[in-house]
Structure 1
Amino acid sequence: MKKVLLRIVLIVLLSSSMHAYAQFRKYSNEFLNIGAGARGLGMGGAQVASVSDGNAGYWNPAGLVHIKDNPVVNFMHAEYFSGIGKYDYGSVAIPLSDKKRTIALSLLRFGVDDIPNTLYLVEPDGSINYNNIRSFSSADYAFLFSYAQSLKQKGNRLFSFGVNAKVIHRNVGTFAKAWGFGLDAGVQMQTKRWKLGIAARDVTTTFNAWSFSFTEEEKEVLYLTDNEIPVKSTELTAPRLVLGAAYDFALGKNFNLLAEANADLTFDGKRNVIVSADPVSIDPRLGIELGYKDLIFVRSGIYNFQRALADGDTLNQKKVWIYQPGLGAGFKLKHIAIDYAFTNLANQSNPLYTHIFSIRLDLVKKEKTKSVKTK
């Protein structure tokens, strides 16, 4: 187990140093950092150590090994900025016959529709013609192909690892599109109470190759309006390492409290986070989940700590720490689970609230009833 963890850390560090000469986009493919599933978002994204359902393909593919008996399907929908941005997530996880390996496919989409295209707003004579405004959509897609396997089980300790191969597609109307490819890897160690996890995202650096397609007429308008005509380019996403630890407290016979802490380590220079350094910055996530008989759950979490100007203090430029809160609830009934999360997209002082719903279905096969023959 120690050798596996050490290899993942080394791969991240070596990949980061090998591409130091290239220009990384600090917030490249940022839509992949939103989260997946109302349970995880209600806990502030603290999931790397404890995730054990179909959403593990996103948080930590090693957690998929806990799906052993039946295929599991997950769906999530959320809308941001009063419905302007729509975020959808779906996955299917299928355990293999030996109950030690699981494969999964996940799909993420973040899109903004009906964006005004004002390229032809101004006529050649300088007059404004609003009838020339058209609309287009911008969408980001990610396809995750996951594989997870148990390493070994010693006593009540379960060791597992998982990998993702992800394909990224981004398009901006008919003007631009990009294709990208990257790899993720993760490990977990779980006992009856303790849970530990590591997820290495974009472990080999993720590449997005952009191409642009403007008509000659569009190029002429861009030139006459002093806009730069973009050319083919490559966007790099630097590796990210997420460390997590969780503990499950037993509160009597019917209640249990799961508490988890994660630390996101980025390697692309200083960021506006609690530990801001070059080349490593650290952003913590904290989450708790109170469960009753494994049927009803209440969750809370905080994440995205940043320093920002205090409200109304534009004169002294005093900065304070802000964070994103999250709340959630859910229930599980036989082979279906429904979860809800209430989060703040910006921070606790800006009311950009979002309602998130997700559902999980266990695809249980019906048992065949034996017919009794009568003589």
Structure 2
Amino acid sequence: MKNYYIVFLTLVTLSSFGQTSRKYSNEFLNIGVDAAALGMSNAVVSTTSDVNSGYWNPAGLVHLEDNQLALMHSSYFANIANYNYIAFAKPLDDRSAIGISLIRFGVDDILDTTQLIDDQGAINFDRISTFSTADYALTVSYARKLPLDGLNYGINAKVIRRVIGDFASAWGFGLDAGIQFETNNDWKFGFMARDITTTYNTWTFDEDNFEKISGAIEGQNQTLPEKTEITLPKLELGLSKSWLFHYDYSLLAAFNLNVRFAETNDIISTSAASIAPALGFQFGYTDLVFLRAGVGNFQNELQIDNSENLTFQPNFGVGFKYKGIEVDYAFTDIGDQSAALYSNVFSLKLDFSIFR
């Protein structure tokens, strides 16, 4: 039973610690959506042009020709955590489009052992209950073409909901903005600013439940965590180029620079900002079959001997598209190339043109 206490308290303590960390607030929103994008290491800010653009760069929604629906599911940490995503987008006219998406990242059926021992000191397994901890993000997107040919912009308004059982919950709100520009020779440029106004989460705590936690281990969890959580702005710069060979074969190469305004373990890091590159490729055959690969998340990891080791995250993927139905799969290392923490990601995209 001691192990149950340790697991439970660790989860709650980690959740509380996250509320005071400014660098990594709302990190579930940085995982990404769409197996096609994940297979290219998320280097899609300049190329995204479908329903998933609401996440990657809302400016890409203007390329929609019909309504689209997207679904994605993936499991992390040996199926302990589940990540689900659904999105819908539609063109309003030949110059604008809208979209809406919902993300849930959660761990369910966590054991609550705070009531395991009754007032007489007896262990009663019937007093064990379960709870879930989950993060939600609802995003509404709008995109429009500008008078300059090839230049588009988009904005996101997102509502954040975070829940830790009956112990704590939070509401948050934030804004994103993106731009895309395409030249006549198939060069594409993208710019995405996330949390441009900073995203604020405001937490509320159930004091009765907190008293149960604070009394579990003497000297630990004695005070409530901070109630305000701030997500600092992040920038993503993208560049891509596509080629067509013999009418049937295509190649897309894309490059991203991801900028955080905080000192992190990114390959380029200063006290003012940190920068991490990402590179992705997609090889296609007759717009029917796609093979993808990418590398990103370059980190300088501190070792036991205080030396630094450069790590990176490889990704691979495959996709099939037929008459408006696209099924994609990504095999992604969510840690680095030396850890065996691989995830299988599946996504489905449906273009409503198949019904017309």
| TM-score of the superposed pair, with normalisation by structure 1 | 0.84
Q: Which residue of 1 aligns with 2:58?
A: 61
Q: Which residue of 1 aligns with 2:211?
A: 219
Q: Which residue of 2 aligns with 1:182?
A: 174
Shift of 1:304: 1.0
8 Å contact kept, 1:168–1:180:
yes
Structure 1 Cα separation of the partners of residues 210 and 192 of structure 2: 44
Residues 247-258 of structure 1 mapped to structure 2, 5 A cutoff: 247-258=241-252
Task: Provide closer, same or farther for how the CA distance between residues 128 and 26 of structure 1 changes in structure 2, counting only shifts above 3 A.
Answer: farther
Alignment partner of 1:235 out of 229, 239, 251: 229
8 Å contact kept, 1:78–1:87:
yes
Q: Which residue of 2 aligns with 1:101?
A: 96
8 Å contact kept, 1:211–1:232:
no
Identity %: 46
Residues 141-160 of structure 1 mapped to structure 2, 5 A cutoff: 141-154=136-149, 158-160=150-152
Alignment partner of 1:46 out of 43, 47, 50: 43
Residues 52-91 of structure 1 mapped to structure 2, 5 A cutoff: 52-68=49-65, 70-91=66-87
| TM-score of the superposed pair, with normalisation by structure 2 | 0.89
The count of residues paired between Structure 1 and Structure 2 equals 334
Structure 1 Cα separation of the partners of residues 246 and 354 of structure 2: 34
Q: Which residue of 2 aligns with 1:204?
A: 197
* 3-state SS in 1 of match to 2:254: strand
Alignment partner of 1:320 out of 309, 312, 321: 309
Q: Which residue of 2 aligns with 1:172?
A: 164
Question: What does the per-residue CA deviation read over 1:124-157, in whole Å, with 9 as the maximum and x for residues that have no partner?
Answer: 5556554433211000000010000001353xxx
Q: Which amino acid aligns with 1:334?
A: K
Structure 1 Cα separation of the partners of residues 159 and 353 of structure 2: 30
Structure 2 Cα separation of the partners of residues 365 and 38 of structure 1: 22
Structure 2 Cα separation of the partners of residues 206 and 273 of structure 1: 22
Q: Which amino acid aligns with 2:133?
A: S
Shift of 1:89: 0.8
Shift of 1:348: 1.0
Q: Which amino acid aligns with 1:63?
A: G
Unaligned runs of 5+ in 2: 1-19
Q: Which amino acid aligns with 1:338?
A: V
Q: Which amino acid aligns with 2:69?
A: V
Structure 2 Cα separation of the partners of residues 220 and 329 of structure 1: 49
* 3-state SS in 1 of match to 2:37: helix
Structure 2 Cα separation of the partners of residues 199 and 73 of structure 1: 22
Q: Which amino acid aligns with 2:206?
A: S
Task: Provide closer, same or farther for how the CA distance between residues 234 and 73 of structure 1 changes in structure 2, counting only shifts above 3 A.
Answer: same
- Higher radius of gyration, 1 or 2: 1
Shift of 1:175: 1.1
Task: Provide closer, same or farther for how the CA distance between residues 104 and 318 of structure 1 changes in structure 2, counting only shifts above 3 A.
Answer: same
Question: What does the per-residue CA deviation read over 1:256-309, in whole Å, with 9 as the maximum and x for residues that have no partner?
Answer: 111111111111x21001111011110111111011111110000111111225
Q: Does 1:136 align with 2:137?
A: no
Q: Which amino acid aligns with 1:301?
A: G
Q: Which amino acid aligns with 1:328?
A: G
Q: Does 1:307 align with 2:276?
A: no
Task: Provide closer, same or farther for how the CA distance between residues 223 and 24 of structure 1 changes in structure 2, counting only shifts above 3 A.
Answer: closer
Structure 1 Cα separation of the partners of residues 258 and 98 of structure 2: 25
Structure 1 Cα separation of the partners of residues 176 and 210 of structure 2: 39
Q: Which amino acid aligns with 2:239?
A: A
Task: Provide closer, same or farther for how the CA distance between residues 145 and 79 of structure 1 changes in structure 2, counting only shifts above 3 A.
Answer: same
Structure 1 Cα separation of the partners of residues 213 and 298 of structure 2: 43
Question: What does the per-residue CA deviation read over 1:79-125, in whole Å, with 9 as the maximum and x for residues that have no partner?
Answer: 111211000111000101x3110000011110100112122234455
Q: Which amino acid aligns with 1:187?
A: I
8 Å contact kept, 2:114–2:212:
no
Q: Which residue of 2 aligns with 1:297?
A: 290
Task: Provide closer, same or farther for how the CA distance between residues 355 and 222 of structure 1 changes in structure 2, counting only shifts above 3 A.
Answer: same
Residues 113-132 of structure 1 mapped to structure 2, 5 A cutoff: 113-124=108-119, 128-132=123-127
Q: Which amino acid aligns with 2:345?
A: I
8 Å contact kept, 2:53–2:61:
yes
Unaligned runs of 5+ in 1: 1-22, 368-375
8 Å contact kept, 1:24–1:237:
no
